Chains A and B, each alone.
Chain A
Amino acid sequence: MDLATLTQTITFFALAGAVIVAALGVVLLNNVVYSAFLLGGVFLSISGLYILMNADFVSAAQILIYVGAVNVLILFAIMLVNKREAYTPVPGRWLRQGGAAVVSLGVFALLTKMILQTPWQLSSLPPTTDSITTIGQHFFSNFLLPFELASVLLLMALIGAVVLARRELVLEPEPILGEEVVPPLELPERPREPVALSEK
């Protein structure tokens, strides 16, 4: 085993260990803020794995989109729904957790057996050196329709997120002339928690 292969193998196993440990932390830790930061660690380690597998453009896109956008969005959501609530215990919850663990491990064992048994047709050609050019040619030749549909999907997600997360305004009737006008400094909003208010 020469030096390049050895370095590649060591880097791969270090990044894989980081991915697994951080993913377990995301799932198992109690504090959701720690989970969000560990999720950023998972994304960074996976982008390192992409570089190891000659995917430089996807690695940069992974860092920009996942770490820069999705992770920050999740942190903002955690801050917006920042509520320390003690979860009421649900009877039989350990049974569900144990069942989920058994099913996950079973799926993992099944997938591992399938991966080890399949004879993979490895390509003998060396991988391409300019991946960005190849990806761009794919985007504008045989993947043109999905590429344009992706832009429509992003526009729909943008508008949908704004419509869903916006607070609904209560439309008040127009003030009659001569009547005292309400000070226009604040937006008239529906009460913040209608369920909680109506219970009082």
Chain B
Amino acid sequence: MQLTYVLILAALLFCIGIYGLVTSRNAVRVLMSIELLLNAVNLNLIGFANYLDGQQIKGQVFAVFVITVAAAEAAVGLAIILAIYRNRDTVDMEKFNLLKW
């Protein structure tokens, strides 16, 4: 059945994104991993909309909202990274200790 394939693919993409989110040291790469997470969620939503709710495709509406929020998040996140880079002169996540007691 194809729905399980889609869901397993989305789960794998989500886990790759979590691994990258936790382990990467470049701050821009962390944002890319967050985009991977949001895409995995979108894949789930589209899969459910196609296989379980083919008439009222509400999953696609939710996917459009997720894409909107992802675009806003990318813009604000990259602005924050630029501001930190201007202050700290680095993009290394290990050196960002601004919020650490």
The residues of A with any CB-CB pair to B shorter than 8 Å are: 8-9, 12, 16, 19-20, 23-24, 26-27, 32, 35-36, 39, 42-43, 46, 49-50, 53-55, 57-58, 61-62, 65-66, 69-70, 73-74, 76-78, 80-81, 83, 85, 87-88, 90, 96-97, 100-101, 103-105, 107-108, 111-112, 115-116, 120-123, 125-128, 131, 134-135, 138-139, 143, 146, 150, 153-154, 156-158, 160-162, 164-165, 167, 192-196
Chain B residues 71 to 95 lying within 8 A of chain A, measured CB to CB, are 71-76, 78-83, 85-92, 94
Residues of A within 8 A of B58 (CB): 138
17 A-B contact pairs sorted by A residue (CB < 8 Å): A8-B2, A19-B13, A27-B36, A66-B67, A70-B71, A100-B18, A107-B15, A108-B12, A115-B11, A116-B4, A153-B72, A154-B68, A157-B71, A164-B80, A165-B79, A165-B82, A192-B86
Known: A55-B57, A104-B16, A195-B88. A74 touches B67 (CB 8 A): no
The secondary structure that dominates the A interface is: helix
- Choice from A85, A88, A131, A193 contacting B60 with Cβ under 8 Å: A131
The secondary structure that dominates the B interface is: helix
Instruction: Check B51–A81 contact: CB distance below 8 A.
Output: no
Q: Besides A27-B16, A150-B65, 17 other CB < 8 A contacts?
A: A19-B9, A27-B24, A58-B42, A65-B70, A74-B28, A74-B78, A77-B28, A83-B89, A85-B90, A88-B92, A104-B16, A107-B15, A115-B4, A115-B8, A134-B56, A135-B64, A195-B88
Instruction: Check B26–A69 contact: CB distance below 8 A.
Output: no
Instruction: Sort chain B's interface into a size bin.
Output: 35 or more
